[in-house]
Structure 1
Amino acid sequence: MPHLSVRLYPGRTKEVKQDFAEKLQDLVVKELGCEPNVVSVSFKEIEKEKWDDVIDVEIAGEDIYIEADF
């Protein structure tokens, strides 16, 4: 059911991403009242120099509730 797609700068270890994914899964289960087995989480690393171009294209059409300001 819910899928969370995280885009971030490169540099975090697989263990850090796995831990973060598990925390996101726990939060979704708690807040949306679903079972853990229906929650998926993915990561896509985007180089800092390409961030604006890639993000603009990839999230076009998505509802953004919190926008970064940097």
Structure 2
Amino acid sequence: MPHLSVRLYPGRSKEVKQEFADKLQAFVVKELGCEPNVVSVSFKEIAPEKWKDVIDDEIAGEDVYIEADF
């Protein structure tokens, strides 16, 4: 508890993704009051031309609070 799954376009380095994951983890720990060891973060790169189809399929059934406007 909790897991954050980030989908993004390809092209960012492992170092950039690690730094972002660290910041997400710190934010979740602060806001939800949990321990860092229970927070996990993953990344999945999706090509821009496949974005809408992949995202629509992957988030089907999830509660979306902010939607992108493509």
Q: Which runs of 5+ in 1 are unaligned?
A: none
The TM-score, its normalising length taken from structure 2, stands at 0.98
Aligned partners of 1:12 and 1:37: how far apart in 2? 25
Aligned partners of 2:23 and 2:50: how far apart in 1? 28
Identical counterparts, % of pairs: 86
**Counterparts in 2 of 1:44-59, with a 5 A limit?**
44-59=44-59
Q: Where do 4+ consecutive residues of structure 1 move more than 2 Å?
A: none
Q: Which runs of 5+ in 2 are unaligned?
A: none
Cα deviation, 1:16-64, whole Å, max 9, x if unaligned, reads 0000000000000000000000000000000000001100100000000
Aligned partners of 1:27 and 1:61: how far apart in 2? 25
